[in-house]
Structure 1
Amino acid sequence: MHRYYVSFSYQAPSGFAVASVDVTARQRFATVNDLAPVTADLTGRGYRNVTILAFSLYANPTRDNDTHRNPNPNRDTRRAPHTSPRPNPRGRRS
Protein backbone atom coordinates (compact mmCIF):
# COMPACT_ATOMS: atom_id res chain seq x y z
CA MET A 1 0.00 0.00 0.00
CA HIS A 2 1.21 3.49 -0.86
CA ARG A 3 0.16 6.61 1.00
CA TYR A 4 -0.01 9.97 -0.77
CA TYR A 5 -0.59 13.60 0.12
CA VAL A 6 -2.82 15.08 -2.58
CA SER A 7 -3.64 18.79 -2.89
CA PHE A 8 -6.50 19.92 -5.08
CA SER A 9 -8.55 22.96 -6.00
CA TYR A 10 -12.30 23.12 -6.34
CA GLN A 11 -15.13 25.57 -6.85
CA ALA A 12 -16.67 26.53 -3.51
CA PRO A 13 -19.85 28.58 -3.03
CA SER A 14 -17.71 31.62 -2.20
CA GLY A 15 -15.27 31.07 -5.09
CA PHE A 16 -12.01 29.22 -5.61
CA ALA A 17 -10.73 27.00 -2.76
CA VAL A 18 -7.76 24.70 -2.12
CA ALA A 19 -7.74 21.60 0.08
CA SER A 20 -5.74 18.43 0.63
CA VAL A 21 -6.45 14.79 1.37
CA ASP A 22 -4.48 11.67 2.35
CA VAL A 23 -4.91 8.83 -0.14
CA THR A 24 -3.94 5.19 0.32
CA ALA A 25 -3.63 3.21 -2.91
CA ARG A 26 -2.49 -0.24 -3.95
CA GLN A 27 -0.53 1.02 -6.97
CA ARG A 28 1.99 3.84 -7.25
CA PHE A 29 0.91 7.04 -8.97
CA ALA A 30 3.15 8.28 -11.77
CA THR A 31 1.03 11.00 -13.37
CA VAL A 32 -2.00 13.06 -12.46
CA ASN A 33 -4.01 10.84 -14.84
CA ASP A 34 -3.47 7.95 -12.40
CA LEU A 35 -5.45 9.98 -9.86
CA ALA A 36 -8.70 9.85 -11.87
CA PRO A 37 -10.37 7.61 -9.22
CA VAL A 38 -9.43 10.15 -6.54
CA THR A 39 -10.91 12.98 -8.60
CA ALA A 40 -14.10 10.95 -9.11
CA ASP A 41 -14.31 10.23 -5.37
CA LEU A 42 -13.91 13.91 -4.49
CA THR A 43 -16.58 14.83 -7.03
CA GLY A 44 -18.86 12.22 -5.46
CA ARG A 45 -18.29 13.84 -2.06
CA GLY A 46 -19.69 17.14 -3.34
CA TYR A 47 -16.59 19.02 -4.54
CA ARG A 48 -17.22 20.75 -7.88
CA ASN A 49 -14.68 21.22 -10.69
CA VAL A 50 -11.91 19.33 -8.89
CA THR A 51 -8.38 19.86 -10.22
CA ILE A 52 -5.44 17.94 -8.74
CA LEU A 53 -2.63 20.41 -8.07
CA ALA A 54 0.07 18.10 -6.71
CA PHE A 55 0.66 14.73 -5.10
CA SER A 56 3.53 13.37 -3.06
CA LEU A 57 4.34 9.90 -1.78
CA TYR A 58 4.91 9.86 1.97
CA ALA A 59 8.27 8.51 3.11
CA ASN A 60 8.44 5.00 4.50
CA PRO A 61 9.23 5.40 8.22
CA THR A 62 10.81 1.94 8.44
CA ARG A 63 13.58 3.05 6.07
CA ASP A 64 14.93 5.46 8.71
CA ASN A 65 16.33 2.50 10.64
CA ASP A 66 18.43 1.39 7.69
CA THR A 67 22.13 1.88 8.46
CA HIS A 68 22.87 2.62 4.82
CA ARG A 69 20.26 5.36 4.52
CA ASN A 70 22.53 8.17 5.70
CA PRO A 71 26.03 6.93 6.59
CA ASN A 72 27.31 10.46 7.31
CA PRO A 73 24.59 12.33 9.22
CA ASN A 74 24.73 16.09 9.45
CA ARG A 75 26.76 16.79 12.56
CA ASP A 76 25.29 20.28 12.94
CA THR A 77 21.86 18.82 13.73
CA ARG A 78 23.21 17.69 17.11
CA ARG A 79 24.18 21.22 18.07
CA ALA A 80 22.13 23.41 20.35
CA PRO A 81 19.62 25.62 18.53
CA HIS A 82 20.41 29.28 17.91
CA THR A 83 24.16 28.71 17.68
CA SER A 84 26.17 29.83 14.70
CA PRO A 85 27.48 27.14 12.36
CA ARG A 86 31.02 25.93 12.75
CA PRO A 87 33.55 27.88 10.69
CA ASN A 88 34.97 26.24 7.61
CA PRO A 89 38.69 25.44 8.15
CA ARG A 90 39.40 26.28 4.50
CA GLY A 91 38.01 29.77 4.81
CA ARG A 92 35.11 31.40 3.06
CA ARG A 93 34.72 30.84 -0.66
CA SER A 94 32.92 33.25 -2.89
Structure 2
Amino acid sequence: MKNNLYNFTDKSGSFISFSAHRIKSLYLPLCNEILMSSITADLHGDIKSGQNSFLMEPASRADLSLSKSSRNFWVYVNKDQVWSAAGVSKNI
Protein backbone atom coordinates (compact mmCIF):
# COMPACT_ATOMS: atom_id res chain seq x y z
CA MET A 1 0.00 0.00 0.00
CA LYS A 2 1.34 3.45 -0.96
CA ASN A 3 1.87 6.01 1.79
CA ASN A 4 0.29 9.34 0.77
CA LEU A 5 1.32 11.30 3.87
CA TYR A 6 5.10 11.28 3.42
CA ASN A 7 7.91 9.94 1.26
CA PHE A 8 11.44 9.14 2.41
CA THR A 9 14.07 11.04 0.43
CA ASP A 10 17.19 9.12 1.48
CA LYS A 11 18.38 6.19 3.58
CA SER A 12 19.04 8.40 6.65
CA GLY A 13 15.36 8.87 7.50
CA SER A 14 14.84 12.27 5.85
CA PHE A 15 11.34 12.69 4.50
CA ILE A 16 9.04 15.18 2.80
CA SER A 17 5.30 15.68 3.21
CA PHE A 18 3.02 17.91 1.17
CA SER A 19 -0.17 17.16 3.15
CA ALA A 20 0.93 17.08 6.81
CA HIS A 21 -0.62 20.52 7.45
CA ARG A 22 -4.09 19.00 6.87
CA ILE A 23 -3.82 16.75 9.93
CA LYS A 24 -4.59 18.94 12.96
CA SER A 25 -3.31 16.44 15.56
CA LEU A 26 -0.02 15.60 13.81
CA TYR A 27 3.10 16.33 15.83
CA LEU A 28 6.79 15.48 15.85
CA PRO A 29 8.73 14.48 18.97
CA LEU A 30 11.97 16.38 19.60
CA CYS A 31 14.46 14.84 22.02
CA ASN A 32 18.02 15.09 23.21
CA GLU A 33 19.92 13.98 26.33
CA ILE A 34 18.34 16.68 28.53
CA LEU A 35 14.91 17.65 27.18
CA MET A 36 11.93 16.06 25.47
CA SER A 37 9.31 18.04 23.60
CA SER A 38 6.80 17.82 20.81
CA ILE A 39 5.87 20.31 18.12
CA THR A 40 3.01 20.59 15.63
CA ALA A 41 3.14 21.97 12.09
CA ASP A 42 1.86 25.35 13.34
CA LEU A 43 4.55 25.41 16.08
CA HIS A 44 2.34 24.52 19.07
CA GLY A 45 4.02 22.15 21.48
CA ASP A 46 5.22 21.23 24.93
CA ILE A 47 8.54 20.73 26.67
CA LYS A 48 9.59 18.49 29.55
CA SER A 49 12.73 17.19 31.19
CA GLY A 50 11.33 13.67 31.59
CA GLN A 51 8.12 11.63 31.54
CA ASN A 52 7.23 12.94 35.01
CA SER A 53 9.02 16.32 35.04
CA PHE A 54 7.20 19.00 33.09
CA LEU A 55 8.39 22.54 32.30
CA MET A 56 4.90 23.43 31.02
CA GLU A 57 1.45 22.02 31.71
CA PRO A 58 1.36 18.40 30.44
CA ALA A 59 -0.26 18.22 27.00
CA SER A 60 -2.08 15.42 25.23
CA ARG A 61 -2.02 14.97 21.47
CA ALA A 62 -5.29 16.93 21.17
CA ASP A 63 -4.06 19.67 23.54
CA LEU A 64 -1.07 20.40 21.31
CA SER A 65 -3.14 21.78 18.45
CA LEU A 66 -5.83 23.40 20.65
CA SER A 67 -3.44 25.35 22.86
CA LYS A 68 -3.31 29.13 22.47
CA SER A 69 0.38 29.26 23.39
CA SER A 70 2.81 28.46 20.63
CA ARG A 71 6.29 29.10 19.35
CA ASN A 72 6.70 31.59 16.59
CA PHE A 73 9.27 32.55 14.01
CA TRP A 74 8.99 36.02 12.50
CA VAL A 75 10.70 37.13 9.30
CA TYR A 76 11.27 40.82 8.63
CA VAL A 77 10.47 41.15 4.92
CA ASN A 78 10.69 44.94 4.66
CA LYS A 79 9.74 48.01 6.73
CA ASP A 80 6.04 47.48 5.98
CA GLN A 81 5.79 43.71 6.27
CA VAL A 82 6.68 40.97 8.71
CA TRP A 83 5.75 37.35 8.10
CA SER A 84 5.08 34.54 10.57
CA ALA A 85 6.32 31.07 9.67
CA ALA A 86 3.63 29.73 12.04
CA GLY A 87 0.87 31.32 9.97
CA VAL A 88 -0.25 33.95 12.48
CA SER A 89 0.82 37.05 10.55
CA LYS A 90 -1.84 39.49 9.41
CA ASN A 91 -0.67 39.65 5.78
CA ILE A 92 0.02 36.21 4.38
Which structure has greater helix proportion?
1
Larger radius of gyration: 1
TM-score if structure 1 supplies the norm length? 0.21
Between 1 and 2, higher relative CO (CA 8 Å, sep ≥ 6) is seen in 1
TM-score if structure 2 supplies the norm length? 0.22
